[in-house]
Structure 1
Amino acid sequence: MVRLTARRGTATLALAGLYFLLPMAASVVFTVDVPGQGFTTDAYGQLLGAEGFLPSLLLSLALAAATVALVLLLVVPAALAVRLGAPRLRPVLEIICSLPLVVPPIALVAGISTVLRWGPEHLADTPFFQTFTALQNPSFPLVLVIAYAVMALPFVHRALDAGLRAVDVRTLVEAARSCGAGWPRAVASAVLPNLRGALLNATFLTLALVLGEFTVARVLGFQPFAVWIVAASGSQAQLTVAVSVLSLLITWALLLILAFLGGRRAAAPTTDRKNSAR
Structure 2
Amino acid sequence: MAALTPAPATPPAAGAPAPARAQPVPQGPAPVPDGAPERRPRPGRRRPRVWRGAVLGLAGVYFLLPLVSSFVFTVHTPGQGVSFAAYTDLLSAEGFTESLLLSLGLAAATIAASLLLAVPALVAVRLGSPRLRPVVEVVCMMPLVVPPIALVTGIATVLRWGPEHLAATPFYQTFIAVQNEAFPLVLVLAYTVLALPFVYRSLDAGLRALDVPTLVEAARDCGASWPQAVVRVLLPNLRSSLTGAAFLTLALVLGEFTIASLLGFRPFAVWIVTISGAQARMSVAVSILSLALTWALLLLLSRAGSAAGAGEGAAPAAPKES
Q: Assess if the C-alpha contact under 8 Å between 1:233 and 1:243 holds in 2.
A: no
Distance 1:211 1:21 in 2: 21
Following TM superposition, by how much is the alpha carbon of 1:226 offset from its aligned partner in structure 2, in angstroms?
0.6
> 2:259 aligned with 1:216, yes or no?
yes
Matched, 1:73 2:116: yes
Structure-2 residue corresponding to 1:42: 85
TM-aligned CA distance change 1:99 to 1:176, over 3 Å: same
Is the partner of 1:172 in helix, strand or coil?
A: helix
> Are positions 1:269 and 2:312 aligned together?
yes
TM-score between the two structures when normalised by the length of structure 1:
0.93
Match of 2:230, SS state, is helix
Aligned to 2:216: 173
Which runs of 5 or more structure 2 residues have no equivalent in the other structure?
A: 1-43
Q: Residue 97 of structure 1 corresponds to which residue in structure 2?
A: 140
- Measured in 2, the distance between the counterparts of 1:175 and 1:68 equals 29
Aligned partner of 1:185 in structure 2 is 228
Partners of 2:159 and 2:290 in 1: CA distance = 30
Aligned partners of 2:72 and 2:318: how far apart in 1? 53
RMSD, aligned α-carbons: 2.1
State the alpha-carbon separation in 2 of the partners of residues 246 and 189 from structure 1: 37
Matched, 1:115 2:170: no
Which structure's residues are more often helix, by fraction? Answer: 1
- Residue pair 1:47, 1:232 contacting (<8 A) in 2 also: no
Unaligned segments of structure 1, at least 5 residues? none
Relative distance call for 1:6 and 1:166 in structure 2 (3 A) is: farther
Matches within 5 A, 1:134-149: 134-149=177-192
Tell me which residue corresponds to 2:32: none
Match of 1:22 among 57, 62, 65: 65
Seen in structure 2, the aligned counterparts of structure 1 residues 174 and 212 have a Cα distance that, compared at 3 Å, is same
Q: 1:143 to 1:200 in 2, by over 3 A?
A: same
| 1:242 match | 285
Change in Cα spacing, 1:233 to 1:90, as seen in structure 2 (3 Å) is same
Looking at structure 2, the residues matched to 163 and 73 of structure 1 have their Cα atoms a distance apart, in angstroms, of: 16
Q: Indicate the larger mover: 12-21 or 104-113.
A: 12-21
2:128 corresponds to 1:85: yes
Q: How many residues align?
A: 277
Q: What's 1:133 paired with?
A: 176
Identity %: 65
Match of 1:159 among 194, 197, 202: 202
In the TM superposition, what is the alpha-carbon distance from 1:39 to its structure 2 partner? 1.3
1:62 partner letter: G
1:273 counterpart SS class? coil
Deviation per residue, 1:91-149 (Å, 9 max, x gap): 00000001111110010000000000000001111110000000000000000000000
1:161-215 per-position Cα deviation (integer Å, ceiling 9, x unaligned): 0000011111111111111111111111111100001000000110000000000
Higher-Rg member (1/2):
2
Match of 1:258 in 2: 301
Give the match's secondary structure for 1:106.
helix
**Which residue in 1 is equivalent to 2:94?**
51
